[in-house]
Structure 1
Amino acid sequence: MTTNFEIKLKRSNKIYHQGENLVGVVSFDCKHESRHEGISLAVDGSVKMQFSSKNVGIIDAFYNSVKPVPLINYSVEIAKSGTLPAGKTEIAFELPLRPKGNKTLYETYHGVFITVQYVLRCEVKRSMLNKDLSKCVEFMIESERNDNEPAGIEDRPISFTITPESLQNVKDKRKVPSFSVNGKLNNTVCKLTDPFTGELVIEQCDVPIRSVELQLVRVETCGCAEGYARDATEIQNIQIGDGDICRGVSIPIYMIFPRLFTCPTLITSNFKIEFEINVVVIFEDNHLITENFSIKLVRF
């Protein structure tokens, strides 16, 4: 007997907040009457961490200490054992999104070494001769505005100048071509729903320029009492200047923060999720200069 089913959430964007209810239906489409031994729904949310290969040396020291952090986990039975009639059947559900104990439902985030994920799973139990059926759907959690928080965030712009003298980790600065780059980042405390903006000016450069780029970087830290692993990986790279651009001309900086791959800056006792911006100027001979800025991401 063939039984097809899917989980349909009421909200098409699948975005919810802590304390709300997860509302929807489980829709079954059976060609024939189908016997089952019970239908259940499970809500699961956790923070999962892993380590990069470069940290193999310290994994043994605290492998057993860094485990997935459960945020929400429970199951409910929505139908006792019985039969599903031929045709379409819908079973409605409404499940509260309340964390375990004193936990907080952190925002959904898909990183390289840290993942915060929420899943709704439906399981149809069947007799021993038939394999159980299972389907799952991911939903997103976003932090909700706290009435005690201020109405807005204070802008924290930053101006910068990049010259050969300002470069770090350069052994022989005499081999670096003469250049001067000025710029401004309009805000280093950034709302996720607003674009990241600023401007950059190549005041002077003795060698041709091939490209000017803006990199968004995530810095993920997993750790415990025995040690920690910190890894920085690129989220996205956008080109804001192509070729040997004119000197003294203002180049606008404009970047949209990607969904799922970013979240509000998060610092806990077990892990950290932080973000940085790199301004990169690539010369025609493929040598490059980079200026790094730490930024804080917020929801409101």
Structure 2
Amino acid sequence: MQSALSLLGLGSSCSVLLVLDGAEERKTAVIYSPTSHKRVDELPLFGETETVSGKVVISVREGKSLQHMGIRIEFIGAVEMLYDRESSQEFTSLVRELEDPGILTGTKQYPFAFTQVEKAYDTYNGVNVRLRYFLRVTVERPPYIPNIVKEYDMAVAHFQEEPQVNNTIRMEVGIEDSLHIEFEYKKSKLHLSDVVLGKVYFLQVRIKIKRMELEIKRRESAGTGVHAVNETDTLAKFEIMDGSPVRGESIPVRMFLSAYPSLTPTYKNINNKFSVKYFLNLVLVDEDDRRYFKQHEIFLWRAATNGN
């Protein structure tokens, strides 16, 4: 994969092309909008200690020259607080100097490598916070002339082994003398291509149920103290029953998580900046459109074996 970036300097023009080693064979990660959940980007994917290397190609228009005070490339990992830019923070910052001050003419290539660079967290694109990794190429210009700067994003994913303990979820829900149900989910920890399996058992039904749904909700918590913000969003809604059940009826639950690609792993206190939790929300709707629900937290993880 390569990125051709056109950059204009004052008094001259140049183009910057950044080419990653092994770009054609590298896997990619799709980035989704945190609000519409639609695909917005596709980035080259890296592991947590994988080397990031390639070359920067800078070309100056024929017959032109570009005076500069040095050329450098940086590897940066940053948490961006979208609602409070002053709280954003770079947690990784490495620099490679590509050339000393001079004058550029024609085309020149600059190889670079950030060897086994640590990438401590996953890429995350949220409503109020974003965690990104990127390469920043800077052609520093003389005083009073803006620098030429361009950024090139990449994605990072951590893979995990299956948790040793994975308890079932069992709960009872009662509404006075009107409704009494038991529900069970086989697992409380699921990988991103897993299947939510379970059942709902109706012990007592004295209200007219129109339908029953299972929702997946994501709660993003960003910041701390008075600056903390929370955002809850419904990522998935799956109907598991249509029509009124009778006493003693058992309804199976089978929901494929792979149908919802905008799901991410659960994140806990990432760089002391944000957390992401997921919940299964069982919803019953009666004939008067009143909603009855019971919510339970689940843990999502990215499996090392299947790459999801």
When normalised by structure 1's length, the TM-score is 0.70
Tell me which moved more, 9-18 or 261-270.
Answer: 261-270
| Map of 1:294 onto structure 2 | 297
5 Å-filtered alignment, 1:18-37, equals 18-28=48-58, 31-32=61-62, 34-36=64-66, 37=68
Q: Partners in 2 of 1:151 and 1:243 — Cα distance? A: 34
Q: Deviations over 1:104-138 (max 9, x none)?
A: 72221222233222121112344679754332122
5 Å-filtered alignment, 1:189-208, equals 189-192=189-192, 194-201=193-200, 203=202, 204=205, 206-208=207-209
**Relative contact order, higher structure (CA 8 A, sep 6+):** 1
Secondary structure, aligned partner of 1:163: strand
Q: Partners in 2 of 1:8 and 1:180 — Cα distance? A: 61
Q: Is structure 2 residue 99 aligned with structure 1 residue 79?
A: yes
Q: Partners in 1 of 2:78 and 2:49 — Cα distance? A: 16
Deviation at 1:223, TM superposition (A): 1.8
Q: Deviations over 1:13-53 (max 9, x none)?
A: 222233321122334465525533143212221223466xx
Q: Partners in 2 of 1:206 and 1:288 — Cα distance? A: 12
Percentage identity across aligned positions?
A: 16
| Residues 125, 133 of structure 1: 8 Å contact kept | yes
Q: Is structure 2 residue 151 aligned with structure 1 residue 136?
A: yes
Q: CA RMSD in A?
A: 3.6
Q: In proportion to residue count, which structure has more strand?
A: 2
When normalised by structure 2's length, the TM-score is 0.69
Q: Deviations over 1:163-195 (max 9, x none)?
A: 314xxxxxxxx8xxx334443222112234x32
Q: Deviations over 1:201-257 (max 9, x none)?
A: 363463241452312222415326xx6736241150222347437663424222238
Deviation at 1:293, TM superposition (A): 0.8
Secondary structure, aligned partner of 2:164: coil
Structure 1 gaps of 5+ residues are: 52-62, 166-173
| Residues 238, 255 of structure 2: 8 Å contact kept | no
| Residues 264, 299 of structure 1: 8 Å contact kept | no
Q: Is structure 2 residue 8 aligned with structure 1 residue 8?
A: no
Q: Partners in 1 of 2:90 and 2:266 — Cα distance? A: 19
- Give the alignment partner of residue 44 of structure 1, picking from 70, 76, 97: 76
Q: For the structure 1 residues 265 and 41, does the alpha-carbon distance in structure 2 shift closer, same or farther, using more than 3 Å as the test?
A: same
Tell me which stretches of 4 or more aligned residues in structure 1 moved more than 6 Å. none
| Map of 1:58 onto structure 2 | none
Structure 2 gaps of 5+ residues are: 1-11, 29-43, 304-308
| Map of 1:96 onto structure 2 | 115
Q: Partners in 1 of 2:47 and 2:232 — Cα distance? A: 28
| Map of 1:278 onto structure 2 | 281
What is the letter of the counterpart of residue 235 of structure 2?
A: Q
